Amino acid sequence: MDTPTKAIAQPWERAVQHLSAILERRQGICAWERATDGRWYLIQVVPTLFPDEEVIEIRWGGRQRPPSRILRLPLEKTWDTVAWSRDICRRRYQHGYYPVP
């Protein structure tokens, strides 16, 4: 007989809640930093000239330097924001990044 396993709270779950709330509200910023080398990673929702369209801007770089990369993606209304947020936050944690309060 299979018994359901209780979901184990992962260390990145609080960041998942924060990022998915930002994506649902369509406004705000979520940032991570890696203390060992000062690298940072930032996700924000950016408004456009069109009222029905929002863009997610993802930036990353190093301490006291401009962003080394900027990626802009359309924020689709049909996205599973929780699953997308969980994937991003899990990878940030695996790469040594921690949320910036």
Residue range 30-87, pLDDT digits in tens: 999 999 999 999 999 998 888 878 899 999 999 877 778 899 998 887 778 889 999 9
Contacts of 72 by beta carbon, 8 Å cutoff, 6+ apart: 46, 55, 56, 57, 58
Task: Tally helices (H) and strands (E) across the chain.
Answer: 2, 5
Do the beta carbons of residue 68 and residue 60 sit within 8 Å? yes
Report the C-alpha gap between 85 and 96 in whole angstroms: 17
Q: What pTM, to 2 d.p., does this model score?
A: 0.79
Backbone angles phi, psi at 96, to 5 degrees: 90, 10
In this prediction, residues 8-20 reach a mean pLDDT of 83
Report the C-alpha gap between 63 and 42 in whole angstroms: 13
